[in-house]
Amino acid sequence: MSSLDDQTTFIFDRQFCLVGKSYYASLSVPIPAGIVNQESAKLEAKKEKENLDRHLAASMGKLSVNDREAALEEVHAIVKNDPESTFFLQANLQAMEDRLNSIKHGTIYEKAEAIDPCFVSSRRIRLLFLRANRYDPEAGAEQLIKHLDLKVSLFGEKKLTKTITLLDLDDNDRMCLESGFCQILPQKDVAGRTIVLILPGLRPNVAMKHAVRAIYYLGMTMLQESEVIQKKGIVKLCYAVGRYKDRRKASGLAKIAQLMLATPVPYGGIHFCFDACDYLEYVYRRAIILVLPTSAAAKTRIHFGTHMECVYALRRYGITEGSLPISLIDTNPLLHNHMTWYDYRKKLDLDRVKPNDVSSILKIRLPRQDSRNGDGANAMVCSSLTVEPRSGDILEHQVHTGNLRLKKLLVELSAEYKAIDGKKEKMVFAQNLVRQMKASGSRFLKFDQMIEAWTDVSDKMARNKVSKTLRNIRCSNSHSEARKR
């Protein structure tokens, strides 16, 4: 076990001792269910929150007066835009270079430098770590080396100086990405900062390393594509309320902690939301909090309560309920925006490789080369529109999970549809159903025989399919009633 794993295990043991309970607490031993009743859980959660408050206060106390004020402003979404002068950046980059030269001997940095010196000396790469550490060149240099160590442990030495794409992820990694358990929200906080949402309950039942690789890919692509995010920072929200709580044994948290320490993410705020008095879940996440750098711990907040209570608590920190893909009424997360981002990333990464590689790795079927088109250039244009069906999609002329779910929904709504008068009103009803299905992450697909691949259908075709299914259900119900008479 690594030193970080040892530290995390120690934290688990220490937290249980703090409340005077002799629990079996370690990463390798599952905690028995029902070890505390509801009332004692509330008391213990309160004690743990007091302990965490003391820890956060101590983190604040370790900061200078100016840094303390800056941390309070950042966590409450008050962001100052400090312009980067050329002289300022150049001076800090030179200081970072000097620090790297003094500490690189015998580290993974030397190996990366031998493989591709342009990569490690890249201004773009170094600015990532300089901005993430609020222009502290020494901290930036040290984090760069930690990051290279992490990258090798996740993807191997061959990818040490390469940009990680979807093609470097395996099926389980991409399953984690597609699940939406970790996603970049399209709406920002009131300060205009990007919100990264973690929904632990949506994480597929795979090893934690796959989740870590997925989060790494999402985080690094986000940072490398936007200087605004590098400068303003992000707000990270782990939302483990209700069905979004991960009910499996918490293992592999050391990997998550290592990821947070080594990834050049400038945290403007870190929020954890839990069910009221959810003591055990709180202890698990506290193990991560206690290994965070002082600057990040000072901007960490814990919220307990129902969904409504957590949403109201987040408002104080500039995160509005409209930015979250969940609601007080609907328990299903809206994954449409996340899947749009995922499909966008697929198309971008397709441009990096040869067409033959894409077919086997991304499982996006490419069209056969048509002799009439010569080099098949037109076919490659079509390939960017093809998709791989997911379980929630509605497929034309197929018996699929998404089709069955749609039919079940339409059966429930058939009486309401039958009561609607007028063709136009029925069309609007069907169109609204299509929008709801798409908002939940479902797509309406058909198999294109010409390019031998699945493609999205238009809203009109999807609406017609819904209307036809509703009419068929109505006719079937009428025949059933007639036979009974």
Query: For residue 62, what are its two tokens?
Result: 């370790």
**Phi-psi group of 277: left, alpha or beta (phi > 0 → left; psi -120 to 50 → alpha; rest → beta):** left
428-436: list long-range contacts, CB under 8 Å, 24+ apart: 430/463, 430/464, 430/466, 430/467, 430/470, 431/459, 431/463, 433/409, 433/466, 434/459, 434/462, 434/463, 434/466
Q: What values do phi and psi take at 462, rounded to 5?
A: -65, -40
SS3 label, residue 387: strand
For the sheet with 182-184, list strands across it.
182-184, 194-198, 234-240, 267-274, 300-304
**Predicted confidence (pLDDT) per residue in 91-136, tens digit:** 999 999 999 999 999 999 999 999 999 998 999 999 999 999 999 9
Instruction: Give residue 332's pLDDT.
Output: 63
Q: What is the pLDDT of residue 454?
A: 80
Single out the residue of 463, 390, 408, 453 nearest to residue 174, CA to CA: 390
Q: Which of 146, 210, 147, 136 is nearest to 178 (CA)?
A: 210
Name the burial class of residue 466, with classes exposed (0-12), middle (13-18) and buried (19+) by CB atoms within 10 angstroms of its CB.
buried
Residue 20 has pLDDT above 60, yes or no: no
Residue reference for tokens 């098949």: 376
Quickly count: other Cβ atoms within 10 Å of residue 292's Cβ: 18
Across all residues in the chain, what is the average pLDDT? 78
pLDDT of 356 strictly over 60: no
Q: What is the pLDDT of residues 242-300, one digit of tens each?
A: 888 887 655 667 788 889 999 999 999 999 998 877 666 766 677 677 788 888 889 99
Closest CA to 98 of 149, 146, 137: 137
CA distances from 320 to 268, 269, 307, 439 (A): 16, 14, 13, 19
Over range 347-354, report the average pLDDT: 67
Q: Are strands 194-198 and 234-240 parallel, antiparallel or unpaired?
A: parallel
Q: pLDDT tens, 408-424?
A: 888 888 888 888 888 88
Question: What per-residue confidence (pLDDT) applies to 280?
Answer: 64
Say whether pLDDT at 33 is over 50: no
| Region 150-157 average pLDDT | 94
Euclidean distance between CA atoms 162 and 177, whole angstroms: 20
* Contacts made by residues 340-346, CB under 8 angstroms, sequence distance 24+: 341/183, 341/184, 342/177, 342/178, 343/387, 345/166, 345/221, 346/166
* Whether residue 360 has pLDDT greater than 60: no
